[in-house]
């Protein structure tokens, strides 16, 4: 890359004045109106990035003859590009490291020390990887890895959670597992927004059902509501669907697993809603706001979605929740977005989850066995004007 056009190494900003001159002006100010220029720039950058990723993949395949591709690094978080490699590339299967950004360097450092410094043999790892790879991602079996669904962070049992809730003077109910699942499925179906805090935290930038905000993907208003009232960011920002693995092909044109929410795939044609002639003439945000599928809250403007396939093996409680919602509604898909607001990291502890719940317009919070309703809680005392603490991400 010609670094004269970029300034992230020294200037703490992405592009330089030379980039601004080339593309007709400075970057858009956060929260200012979007114009055709910004939309065209974003679309063009994505198209070029996807083409570069695809050409690199084809080059690697031509040089190595391998059938399986592993991706890491920040660009491997580009789900649209990953989807192109899977659909248009020469590899039978791709696997993307779920913390494929700077945080993933921790894994590389550990592996380097384990094999390079301590000299441990690689034979068992290679054998395991080879065995895993040959259970093709294009089969119903999928490919399992050793990252345990990327649930590698800390967890908090009911005793720890209840201790925090008592200290906070929260109002809560403790429910048996089946009652909790039924209650939450009913709340999702009634278009309530729920903070979901369960088990070990995810490793990586995607919430995968441990520290998530969830809602009804069938809702025509949920995308805007969750963006403006929960995430406090632009209303057009997309959300991801979490879909039961064994029903994914019914709603999306995908044959492989996508457990880490790192692949974009088309929504199945039979689930799409055709646009009228008047709707086709709309542009930008106006066109984006037109429902385009049976699951409009997670469908992009081009009829695609960034998919998380959920298996019972990786996350049994989350799977059973979606399965309960499916039994109630006939829809095996819910919205899953990270449990945080703009600019803030994903919540880790019960106290952080409580604060995020209370500072937003989330309707309910589920932590462990406990269910909390917002309308039953006393307002936060002496809270700061916290929206000014975080810039748009």
Whether 190 and 336 share a structural domain: yes
What long-range pairs does 64-70 form, CB within 8 A, spacing at least 24? Answer: 66/91, 67/91, 67/92, 67/93, 67/133, 68/92, 68/93, 68/94, 68/95, 68/133, 69/93, 69/94, 69/95, 70/94, 70/95, 70/96, 70/97
**Considering the chain, what is the average pLDDT of its residues?**
88
In this predicted model, what pLDDT tens digit does every residue of 215-232 receive, in sequence order? 999 998 888 888 777 777
Q: What's the pLDDT band for 129 if we cut at 50, 70, 90?
A: very low
Whether 118 and 215 share a structural domain: no
Whether 110 and 180 share a structural domain: no
Q: Which of 135, 52, 124 is nearest to 93 (CA)?
A: 135
Whether 199 and 283 share a structural domain: yes
Domain-embedded: residue 134: yes
Mean pLDDT on 243-254: 95
Structural domain of residue 88, as residue ranges? Answer: 31-146
Whether 182 and 306 share a structural domain: yes
Whether 242 and 111 share a structural domain: no
Q: pLDDT at position 380, please?
A: 84
Last residue of a domain, one of 146, 171, 199: 146
Q: What's the pLDDT band for 134 if we cut at 50, 70, 90?
A: very low
Q: Which of 58-72, 135-149, 273-287 has the lowest average pLDDT?
A: 135-149
Q: pLDDT at position 125, please?
A: 45
When divided into structural domains, the chain yields a total of: 2
Taking the mean position of all CA atoms in its chain, how far away is CA 210?
Answer: 12
Residue 234 has pLDDT above 90, yes or no: no
Q: What's the pLDDT band for 262 if we cut at 50, 70, 90?
A: very high
Q: pLDDT at position 393, please?
A: 47
Q: pLDDT at position 186, please?
A: 98
Residue that wins the pLDDT comparison between 171 and 344: 171
Q: Which phi and psi (to 5°) does residue 110 adopt?
A: -65, -45
Q: Which residues contact 248 (CB under 8 A, 6 or more apart)?
A: 254, 258, 307, 309
Mean pLDDT on 297-324: 94
For 172, the 3-state DSSP assignment is coil
């Amino acid at each position: 890359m010609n670094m004269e056009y970029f300034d992230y190494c020294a200037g703490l900003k992405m592009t330089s004045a030379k980039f601004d001159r080339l593309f007709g002006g400075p970057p858009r100010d956060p929260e200012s109106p979007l114009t055709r220029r910004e939309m065209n720039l974003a679309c063009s950058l994505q198209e070029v990035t996807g083409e570069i990723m695809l050409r690199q993949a084809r080059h690697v395949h031509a040089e190595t003859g391998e059938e399986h591709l592993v991706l890491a690094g920040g660009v491997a978080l580009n789900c649209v590009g990953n989807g192109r490699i899977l659909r248009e590339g020469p590899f039978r299967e791709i696997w993307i490291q779920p913390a494929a950004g700077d945080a993933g360097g921790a894994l590389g450092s550990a592996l380097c020390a384990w094999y390079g410094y301590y000299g441990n043999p690689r034979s068992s790892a290679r054998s395991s990887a080879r065995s895993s790879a040959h259970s093709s991602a294009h089969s119903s079996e999928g490919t399992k890895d050793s990252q345990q669904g990327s649930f590698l962070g800390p967890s908090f049992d009911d005793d720890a959670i209840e201790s925090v809730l008592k200290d906070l003077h929260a109002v809560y109910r403790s429910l048996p597992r089946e009652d909790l699942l039924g209650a939450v499925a009913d709340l999702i179906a009634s278009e309530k927004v729920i903070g979901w805090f369960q088990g070990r935290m995810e490793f990586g930038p995607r919430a995968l059902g441990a520290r998530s905000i969830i809602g009804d993907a069938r809702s025509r208003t949920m995308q805007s509501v969750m963006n403006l009232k929960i995430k406090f960011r632009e209303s057009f920002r997309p959300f991801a669907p979490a879909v039961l693995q064994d029903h994914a092909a019914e709603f999306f044109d995908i044959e492989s697993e996508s457990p880490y929410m790192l692949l974009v795939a088309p929504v199945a044609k039979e689930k799409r809603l055709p646009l009228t002639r008047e709707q086709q003439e709309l542009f930008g945000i106006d066109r984006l706001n037109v429902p385009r599928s049976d699951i409009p809250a997670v469908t992009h403007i081009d009829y695609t979605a960034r998919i998380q396939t959920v298996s019972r093996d990786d996350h049994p409680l989350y799977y059973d929740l979606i399965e309960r919602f499916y039994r109630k509604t006939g829809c095996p898909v819910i919205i899953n977005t990270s449990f945080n607001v703009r600019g803030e990291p994903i919540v880790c502890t019960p106290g952080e989850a409580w604060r995020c719940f209370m500072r937003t317009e989330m309707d309910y919070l589920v932590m462990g066995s406990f269910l909390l309703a917002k309308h039953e809680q006393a307002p936060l005392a002496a809270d700061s004007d916290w929206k000014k603490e975080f810039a748009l991400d």
